[in-house]
Every structure is written in C-alpha cells, then in structure tokens.
Chains A and B, each alone.
Chain A
C-alpha cells in the first residue's frame, strides 16, 4: 500500500511538473492549475456502433443520448424491437432468430442497453467468428456483423444482398503501436 501511495503521489506531482515545464521560462512560478470547475451535462453517448443511428426513431435520438445506460432497456427496448422487425424480414416468422440464437425481443433487449462489453482476459473483438462482443478493435467490420445479425437469419444465409456492405476494411492501415489510429488525410 505504501508503494502505491508513493507512486500515486509521484503521478500527481508529475502531472503538474509537465504543466510547469511549459510555463514561461523567465518566471519560475508555481504551476497554475487550469480552471476545471463547473458541472458538465451530458449531450452524446455511445457504446456499440450504430445503435442510436439504426434502432432509435428520429424523434427520440436526443433522449436516447441523455438516458443513462441502466435506464435504456426499460425506456427503449420496445422501440428497438418495433424498428428491427419493421426493417428486417429475417424476424418475420414466430421463432425466427439471428445467428446468435437471439429472437427479436432478446436481440433488442441486448442492444437497448448501449454499452460495449469488453473482456480483460484476451481477444477483444466485436465478432471474429469465435469471440462475440468481447470489445471493438479498429479493424472489426462491425457494420457487416450488425447487418448479418439484422438481416442474415439463423445461419447468415438470408437476404445476402443486405447482409454485407462489401466494405471490409479501412482506407488507411492502422498502426501496431500507440496511438494505433492512422494519421489524418
């Protein structure tokens, strides 16, 4: 515990050392901590990709963005289900499921709580053929995964023209090291 405390203090100090080093060289002053006061109120939020865009009706998008995740299922699951079944014929018949074995109610029950589930124990991917919802990596083709789960039916074979946008990768290669994202165009 002592070690952790010391380390923590060192971190706190170094935060301000960094700040200090950027101050005017001619005037050795105490670091001026910027003003961070005030209350910040939520405007946008996101867990999984495309959820608000696809499943929330136009008049409710701002409300979805300002509903805490723990309250989203109760407020939005039925809207998600109505929009899913209106959009995709893959759930038209009783008992229809997607390839995860989820019917319209169960699938939208999962999606309505818009958080990203992330494993701290290994592979992190939206879906890689083996692992499901263990994170979201930069190269994951999340739109095709979602199209497959929306339109592809029980075995990804339904509505083939709608279940893959045939854009499988980014327009620039990602970096193998921090900050991982490619430089801007």
Chain B
C-alpha cells in the first residue's frame, strides 16, 4: 500500500489534469462540451447477426432540462471510419450530417480522401435519411438498402463511478466504494446509430474502426 500511495502520488502530478472525464466525454480542450465532442463509440453485432451496429454519442452530460434544446450542428460531420485491410487507414466511411431537421447518411463508401480533412461523399449510392427525433418523442427510425438509421437524444449508455475515481486520483481516497455510484446516471447524450449489413463493410474477419467529428 505504501508503494501504491507513492506511485499514485506521482500519478497525481502526471495524471490529475487528464482524468477530466470518463470514456471520451470532455476529453480535450478544443472540443469539450461542444457539439463536436464525441463522448462514446460502440460497434456491436445487431439483433440480426448479419448486421453490425455503429453508435456515436456526442455532447455528454446533458441534463433532462438541457436535452430539449440540444441540437446537432449542421457544420459538424460525424464520420465512422472502417479499416478492413489492417493498416489503420480508413477504407470505408459512413458519414452522418444534419440538414433542416434530418440526418443524412452517406456510405459505406470509399472516401475520396483519407485522413483529417473530408468532403461529404454525396455520390454514395448507399445511405439514407432519418428525421431527427425530438426530445420527448418516440424514436424515429428509417431503413434503406438493408441499413437502419437513428439520430436524436438518448440516455447516456456509459456508466462509471467517475467521482470516486477522481477522489482516488486526487489522493483523497485509496479505493473505490462498494457499491459504486454511476456518475452518468440520469444524463443524456445526442446519439447517431446506424446498422449496416456486414457484407457492406468487409463481410468477415476483423475490422478496425473509429469515429471522428469534423467541422466545416
């Protein structure tokens, strides 16, 4: 324990500032709390096991009172990146961008350029459109070409006793509590969910995937 304290003591200096918040919530000064701040990314097999589901959450820690006025920014492109050749460079992207109350999805499509700058791939022959769900309404879902689409506020699916973690890192506690308390309980995020046939993103094997927010 002595050693642990000592190590944690050193850790405080190195780490205090960067244990700001959880999964990716408010992870960096340029984006924190804004409408390009990605809080979480999920990728899992769908209810139909031939499909994969991608989830991007942005704008974390929305209270119920703040959720009704939260919006997607028309200048912010959310892009799911898929590498199916193992080099960690995107071979396919699925882009989501809002216009006038609707979320437009383009892809999966090979992007015209990889990396930090993107254009909206409007020539994509696959994709779809969904009306953005308003706070308090049941979920609007649309489907097109085997894909399904959703955009709107949801409960933040992330859970963690972040408060106690902060106490540990700050040197005010030496362990987690039993039971812990979910710091994210009762808070919402703005979610983009897209379900896509696995056949459209490589079919089999392992993909490397990540999500990006990009601003015009």
Q: Which A positions have Cβ atoms within 8 angstroms of B?
A: 7-12, 14-15, 18-19, 22, 33-34, 36-47, 49-54, 56-58, 61-62, 64-66, 68-70, 82-83, 86-89, 92, 113-125, 134-138, 141-143, 159-162, 164-172, 174, 176-185
Contact = CB atoms under 8 A, between A and B. Distances in A.
A139 to B, nearest CB: 8
Contacts of A43: 30-31, 36, 76, 213-215
A169 B204 CA distance: 30
Interface of A is mostly: loop
Nearest to B23: A49
Given A50-B24, A138-B42, A169-B159, A179 B139 contact: yes
A44 to B, nearest CB: 4
B155 A62 contact: no
Interface of B: 3-4, 7-8, 10-11, 14-15, 17-25, 27-31, 36-38, 40-47, 52-53, 55, 62, 64, 67, 76-77, 83, 87-89, 97, 99-100, 102, 104, 114-120, 122, 125-129, 135, 138-139, 141-142, 144-145, 148, 150, 153-155, 157-161, 164-165, 168, 174-182, 184-188, 191, 193, 195, 198, 201-216
Nearest to A88: B7
Contacts of A123: 45
B63 to A, nearest CB: 8
B185 A171 contact: yes
5 contacts: A44-B27, A162-B175, A183-B138, A185-B64, A185-B186
A84 B75 CA distance: 36
Sorted from nearest, which 4 A-B pairs have the closest CB atoms?
A161-B175, A61-B28, A40-B214, A58-B17
Contact of A70 (B27, B41, B89, B127): B89
Contacts of A7: 145
A58 B27 CA distance: 9
Contacts of B30: 43-44, 62, 65
Given A15-B127, A162-B168, A176-B47, 19 more contacts: A9-B125, A40-B119, A42-B116, A44-B212, A45-B38, A46-B24, A47-B210, A52-B27, A66-B116, A69-B89, A116-B208, A120-B198, A135-B43, A136-B44, A138-B157, A166-B177, A171-B185, A177-B47, A184-B155
A51 B40 CA distance: 11
Contacts, number: 326
Contacts of B41: 46-47, 49, 116, 136
A86 B15 contact: yes
Nearest to A115: B208
Contacts of A54: 18-19
B35 to A, nearest CB: 10
B19 A53 contact: yes
Contacts of A172: 155
Given A88-B7, A178-B148, A40 B117 contact: yes
A181 B157 contact: yes
B7 A86 contact: yes
Interface centre among A49, A65, A164 (most CB of B within 10 A): A65
Contacts of A168: 159
Contacts of A86: 7, 10-11, 14-15
Given A33-B122, A41-B214, A122-B45, A56 B18 contact: yes
A53 B22 contact: yes
Given A36-B122, A39-B118, A170-B155, A120 B20 contact: no
A34 B122 CA distance: 10
B210 A114 contact: yes
A55 to B, nearest CB: 8
